[in-house]
Amino acid sequence: MRRVVRGEVGFDVTSRALVTMDASNYRRVPLGVVAPRDADDVAAVLAVCRERGVPVVARGGGTSIAGQATG
């Protein structure tokens, strides 16, 4: 992923833990976290994930009370 994305990419425990929860009671640990720099990064991430069958969840402010931000 780091080869195709200019933004931040995190597969470490801390990066993943920071996005495991939103305002709901749900908690899911992602495989990784990407903070894209631009639309090209988004397209690259989606292409890599599609090729490998990895689901993608877009995250905004994490204020959902129904778990949408955690997948």
Q: What domains are there in the chain, each with its CATH number?
A: 8-70 (3.30.43.10)
For residue 61, give Cα distances in angstroms to 7, 50, 68.
18, 24, 11
Q: Residue written as tokens 């993608």?
A: 56
Task: Quickly state the pLDDT bin for 58 (edges 50, 70, 90).
Answer: confident
In the chain, where do the E strands start and end? 8-10, 33-35
Mean pLDDT of the chain: 86
CA angle at 54 for the pair 47 and 42, rounded to the nearest 5°? 35
The whole-number pLDDT of residue 71 equals 61
Report the amino acid identity of residue 28: R
Render pLDDT for 2-31 as a digit per residue (tens, 0 to 9): 899 999 999 999 888 888 876 777 778 888
Specify the pLDDT at position 67: 63
